[in-house]
């Protein structure tokens, strides 16, 4: 008889309440794959968007979840440097391709749709996508890192080229990715200016080292304050819309803007400051295997992710409702006993 496991599955879109805890056959490690016994998983807005039907090409039924950490349970045919029992964290970026500069659009996809993801007791993934868990991190902390940490790392370093002593503006610091950007910026010896709609989140950001924190809701003229605080070398933004337009006003001549999302829709930008100030705008999404390895290295040197709340696997729908409320600061995690 095939062994079964619990998995949080989506059979039809309709928001987090559409998620069901099912019993399904345990996956097996195919050639070039490993089977991971998951101990923790973490939520991203991508998972929420999938449940809401707001993601392209949704295939169901599917086990959602991109982020996870656990132990190697079994190894499929083919070479693998690790061993059964190793504690690992999973890179959810599948099929990036051979070019570190950009993913291969023919093969790139993210764990947790269409391929079954991490909100389950076991997941089978390509062996190239598992990395040793940084020893000092708990399983919950390790599971919190992958998707947001990878996106943040590539945005700020690989694409944004942030250097020690520079100033970065992080718009909407309450976002899951933005919190990692703040952690990385301070770890790299940069000065960080942050904005948020919430004073409470700004206080949390200051506790993590933010040098200047401004509420963009109560201070609509926030861009003036940023400009008066000195040159901004890099802006990292995912809100788009009006915020991106203002980013062009505040960035210094020769500065950079890295964009990883468009929460508030498309932006109409002024072209004059773009070409007159020789500004570089870079788009970025997820990250290459090289980015993932370099990102994880930071967490082997004392960095810790910020956790908001830990739910049980069975409470995945409630955890996703919590994510949808936008009250969180840091990652929402599922413990998998
Ligand atoms: N390209 C990729 O690989 C990738 C990966 C992950 C996420 N994303 C995208 O990046 C975006 C953020 O995702 P997330 O999960 O990190 O964040 P999130 O947790 O959904 O939070 C979104 C954040 O946007 C901020 N925001 C909203 N309106 C804003 C405005 N007018 N000005 C400044 N900030 C504003 C809010 O900041 P405050 O709460 O502080 O106000 C909020 O925390 C989403 O669009 C997501 O789809 C892209």
Instruction: Write out the residue range of the structural domain in which residue 321 sits.
Output: 4-145+305-335
- The three-state secondary structure class of 254 is strand
Does residue 294 belong to any structural domain of this protein?
A: no
- CATH number reported for the structural domain that contains residue 51 in this entry: 3.90.180.10
Residues 262 and 137 in one domain: no
Residue 84 Cα to ligand 1 middle (Å) = 37
- The atom number, within ligand 1, closest to the CA of 323 reads 19
Residues 131 and 182 in one domain: no
Residue nearest to atom 21 of ligand 1 (CA): 175
Ligand 1 near 215 CB (within 6 A): no
The total number of structural domains in the chain stands at 2
Residues 158 and 203 in one domain: yes
The edge-to-edge listing of strands for the beta sheet with 62-63 is 19-25, 4-10, 62-63
What's the CA angle centered on 54, arms 53 and 58, to 5 degrees?
55
Residues 186 and 275 in one domain: yes
Contact (CB, 8 A) for 163 and 140 = no
Give the containing element (helix H, strand E) for 298: helix 289-299
Does residue 298 belong to any structural domain of this protein?
A: no
Residue nearest to atom 9 of ligand 1 (CA): 261
Does residue 96 belong to any structural domain of this protein?
A: yes
Residues 229 and 169 in one domain: yes
Residue 29 Cα to ligand 1 middle (Å) = 35
Ligand 1 near 171 CB (within 6 A): yes
Residues 132 and 191 in one domain: no
Residue nearest to atom 26 of ligand 1 (CA): 172
Residue 1: what pLDDT?
61
Q: What are phi and psi of 22, to 5 degrees?
A: -105, 165
Ligand 1 near 296 CB (within 6 A): no
Residues 76 and 12 in one domain: yes
Residue nearest to atom 10 of ligand 1 (CA): 261
* Candidate from 45, 56, 150, 183 with most ligand 1 atoms within 8 A of CB, to mutate: 45
Residues 43 and 111 in one domain: yes
Residues 273 and 322 in one domain: no
Does residue 201 belong to any structural domain of this protein?
A: yes
Whole-Å CA distances, 281 to 20, 148, 164: 41, 20, 20
Does residue 300 belong to any structural domain of this protein?
A: no
Does residue 168 belong to any structural domain of this protein?
A: yes
Does residue 43 belong to any structural domain of this protein?
A: yes
From first to last of the 337 residues of the chain, give the pLDDT tens digit.
679 999 999 999 999 999 999 999 999 999 999 999 999 999 999 999 999 999 999 999 999 999 999 999 999 999 899 999 999 999 999 999 999 999 999 999 999 999 999 999 999 999 999 999 999 999 999 999 999 999 999 999 999 999 999 999 999 998 889 999 999 999 999 999 999 999 999 999 999 999 999 999 999 999 999 999 999 999 999 999 999 999 999 999 999 999 999 988 899 999 999 999 999 999 999 999 999 999 999 999 889 999 999 999 999 999 999 999 888 899 999 999 9
């Amino acid at each position: 008889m095939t062994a079964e496991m619990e998995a949080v599955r989506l059979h039809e879109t309709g928001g987090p309440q559409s998620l069901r805890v099912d019993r399904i056959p345990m996956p097996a490690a195919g050639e070039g794959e490993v089977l991971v016994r998951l101990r923790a998983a973490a939520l991203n807005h991508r998972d929420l968007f999938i449940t809401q039907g707001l993601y392209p090409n949704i295939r169901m039924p599917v086990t959602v979840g991109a982020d996870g950490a656990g132990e190697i349970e079994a190894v499929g045919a083919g070479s693998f440097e690790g061993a059964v029992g190793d504690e690992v964290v999973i890179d959810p970026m599948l099929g990036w391709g051979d070019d570190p500069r950009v993913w291969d659009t023919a093969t790139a996809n993210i764990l947790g749709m269409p391929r079954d993801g991490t909100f389950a007791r076991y997941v089978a993934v390509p062996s190239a996508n598992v990395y040793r868990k940084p020893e000092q991190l708990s399983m919950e902390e390790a599971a919190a890192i992958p998707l947001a940490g990878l996106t943040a790392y590539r945005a700020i370093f690989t694409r944004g080229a942030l250097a020690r002593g520079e100033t970065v503006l992080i718009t909407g610091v309450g976002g899951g990715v933005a919190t990692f950007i703040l952690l990385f910026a301070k770890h790299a010896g940069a000065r960080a200016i942050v904005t948020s709609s919430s004073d409470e989140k700004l206080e949390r950001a200051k506790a993590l080292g933010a040098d200047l924190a401004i509420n963009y809701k109560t201070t609509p003229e926030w861009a003036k304050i940023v400009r008066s605080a000195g040159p901004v070398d890099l802006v990292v933004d995912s809100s788009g819309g009006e915020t991106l337009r203002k980013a062009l006003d505040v960035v210094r001549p020769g500065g950079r803007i890295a964009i990883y999302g468009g929460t508030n829709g498309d932006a109409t930008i002024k072209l004059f400051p773009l070409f007159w100030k020789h500004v570089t705008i870079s788009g970025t999404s997820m990250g290459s295997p090289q980015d993932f390895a370099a990102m994880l290295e930071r967490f082997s040197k004392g960095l810790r992710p910020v956790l908001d709340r830990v739910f049980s696997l069975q409470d995945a729908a409630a955890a996703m409702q919590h994510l949808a409320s936008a009250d969180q600061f840091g990652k929402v995690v599922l413990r998998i006993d």
